[in-house]
Structure 1
Amino acid sequence: MPDLPSRYALLCVGNSMMGDDGAGPRLAELCAERPLPGWTVVDGGAAPENDIGFLRELRPQHLVIVDATDMGLAPGEMRIINEEDIGEMFMMTTHNLPLTFLIQQLRDDIPDITFVGIQPDVVAFYYPMSAVVEQAVRHLHQRLPALETGLGIALYAAGDA
């Protein structure tokens, strides 16, 4: 009998040594402390492209990607960003490859992909994560089980900033 695909996967992206850019890895830690039933969590760190093969094999029905994203909002604000907008906006990134490349590589194997950006406050080496971003990460952890009915996070629009 073949393995059934995981229903949901969470790809947490970021560098935990760079203050609020560690939002994704912090979410992965929180999921390890308090697992989400039905979810496979991947801490992609600063090189999420290294997890493309694993995610393709996993073939979840829905993938949520979380990363600190400079959207010009108040620190800790979260938005769902359309795939088309990711390439057009300036994405503060510490990653080797653009997230648009990552999503394109996964698109054929994963039907639904949602990108959640968390507005950072300070992104600098050896800075701690700010309290507002930590709070946003905790809020997102609580909301993920409600993915099917909506995360309660607004869609990013260029006029938000």
Structure 2
Amino acid sequence: MSFESQLSDFLKDCEKLIVLGVGNELKCDDGVGPFIIRKLKEKDIENESNSLFINTETVPENFTGKIRKEKPTHLIIVDACLMGGEPGDMKIVDKYDFANIGISTHSMSLSYFVRYLEKDTDIEIIFVGIEPESMDYSERLTENVEKTAYEFIDTLKGITL
């Protein structure tokens, strides 16, 4: 099943979507999540699509109150993820398994974060991992990862608008 059809199936009954971009923008491809959020916000589609885009940087746990207050039906977490693939590969990763394959620039385990959000809520949550090429200090994404970031944005726009 293609990434687009997996994402489309996930968002089938979506009434309110939150997309979280997680990562460190100073460490090259680890900043892919925040990059995606910045580009989505530039397109000013939040109100049109009943979506909210949040750059959590390396502290997604600081946004649990806001997420619960917004009462989304669906949540997508986007982060750089070491999956053993080619730089720029993008896939939906099991939300409880990404603690084992994620990148530890975050102060809290993302699997623990997901479990906390799921407690006492009905939020549907998926994790989108993008394989990094470089984690060196740089404020720019590598070419392959930036291309994938735009593919994710276009795919999401095509499904939600």
* TM-score bucket (shorter structure): 0.7 to 0.9
Q: Secondary structure at the residue paired with 1:137?
A: helix
TM-fit CA distance, 1:109 = 2.1
Aligned-residue sequence identity (percent) comes to: 30
Partner in structure 2 of residue 82 of structure 1: 94
Q: Secondary structure at the residue paired with 2:148?
A: helix
Q: Is the 8 A contact 1:69 1:93 kept in 2?
A: no
Match of 1:93 among 104, 107, 110: 104
TM-fit CA distance, 1:147 = 4.9
Match of 1:125 among 119, 133, 137: 137
Q: Secondary structure at the residue paired with 2:108?
A: coil
What is the TM-score normalised by the length of structure 1?
Answer: 0.82
CA RMSD for the aligned pairs?
Answer: 1.8
Partner in structure 2 of residue 57 of structure 1: 69
What is the TM-score normalised by the length of structure 2?
Answer: 0.82
Q: Is the 8 A contact 1:56 1:110 kept in 2?
A: no
C-alpha distance in 2 between matches for 1:53 and 1:127: 29
- What is the aligned residue count? 143
Structure 1: gaps spanning 5 or more residues? 1-5, 149-161
For residues 140-155 of structure 1, the aligned pairs below 5 Å read: 140-147=152-159
C-alpha distance in 2 between matches for 1:18 and 1:135: 17
C-alpha distance in 1 between matches for 2:96 and 2:56: 22
TM-fit CA distance, 1:111 = 2.5
